[in-house]
């Protein structure tokens, strides 16, 4: 869940460096994270970028997690999915992608995470309209695939792999892509 916040607007390698630093300080323990002095926390997560914003977000999340669920993932993920998602979205700095990443990857809940790679691949393959919203893309995938967390996890991982390897924002490498046989456009995508 810490990783879901730290990965906002940065790549996972930077997040891993920040998580390593947190782990070495024992700051992945929620109760410790919740009371860690701001300046120290900001210093530890600096490699993840936007560290001042992310310090506030981590602090808000960890305090809520301790207060509301006693820092117990079992208790947290026993909450019905829709209700828990609404709670997460009400926290400082947690949007749909971050909330859904926590629910799917930490909680094993059957909810699909939409990111820039997903949007790019599905748009170029005309499976979603241009400028579709997060909610529209998520609904399309979840209406199409069975509601199973491992399936959503795998599907998202495959979209990310294709996005990183071939489906670049500009000049997608369709000739080298496993999806080249499916109908698509090569036009540039802003996300």
Q: What single DSSP character describes residue 181? A: T
Q: At closest approach, how far in Å is the CB of 157 from ligand SF4? A: 14
Contact (CB, 8 A) for 149 and 123: no
Structure-block tokens of residue 188: 């540039």
Q: Which is nearer to ligand SF4, 37 or 183 (CB)?
A: 183
| Phi, psi of 34, deg, nearest 5 | -65, -25
| Phi, psi of 184, deg, nearest 5 | -165, 170
Q: Which residues bind ligand SF4 (CB under 6 A)?
A: 121, 124-125, 162, 166-167, 172-174, 177, 179-180, 184
Q: Which is nearer to ligand SF4, 21 or 125 (CB)?
A: 125
DSSP secondary structure string for all residues of 6-60: HTTTS-HHHHHHHHHHHHHTTTTSHHHHHHS-HHHHHHHTGGGS-HHHHHHHHHH
Return the residue matching tokens 């790679």.
117
Q: At closest approach, how far in Å is the CB of 144 from ligand SF4? A: 17
Q: How far apart are CA 178 and CA 166, in angstroms?
A: 9
Q: At closest approach, how far in Å is the CB of 167 from ligand SF4? A: 3
Q: Which is nearer to ligand SF4, 143 or 181 (CB)?
A: 181
Q: Which is nearer to ligand SF4, 66 or 174 (CB)?
A: 174
Q: How far apart are CA 116 and CA 10, in angstroms?
A: 12
Q: At closest approach, how far in Å is the CB of 160 from ligand SF4? A: 12
Q: At closest approach, how far in Å is the CB of 178 from ligand SF4? A: 7
Q: Which is nearer to ligand SF4, 20 or 188 (CB)?
A: 188
């Amino acid at each position: 869940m810490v990783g879901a916040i730290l990965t906002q607007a940065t790549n996972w390698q930077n997040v891993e460096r920040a998580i390593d630093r947190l782990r070495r300080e024992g700051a992945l323990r929620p109760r410790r994270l919740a009371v860690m002095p701001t300046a120290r926390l900001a210093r530890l997560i600096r490699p993840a970028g936007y560290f001042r914003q992310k310090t506030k977000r981590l602090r808000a999340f960890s305090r809520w997690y301790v207060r509301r669920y006693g820092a117990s993932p079992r208790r947290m993920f026993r909450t019905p999915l829709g209700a828990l998602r609404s709670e997460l979205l009400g926290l400082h700095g947690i949007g749909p992608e971050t909330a859904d990443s926590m629910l799917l990857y930490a909680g094993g809940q059957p909810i699909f995470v939409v990111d820039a790679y997903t949007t790019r691949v599905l748009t170029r393959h005309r499976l979603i309209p241009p400028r579709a919203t997060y909610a529209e893309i998520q609904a399309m995938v979840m209406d199409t695939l069975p509601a199973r967390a491992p399936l959503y996890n795998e599907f998202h991982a495959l979209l990310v792999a294709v996005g990183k390897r071939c489906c670049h924002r500009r000049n997608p490498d369709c000739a080298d892509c496993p999806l080249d046989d499916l109908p698509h456009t090569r036009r540039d995508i802003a996300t």
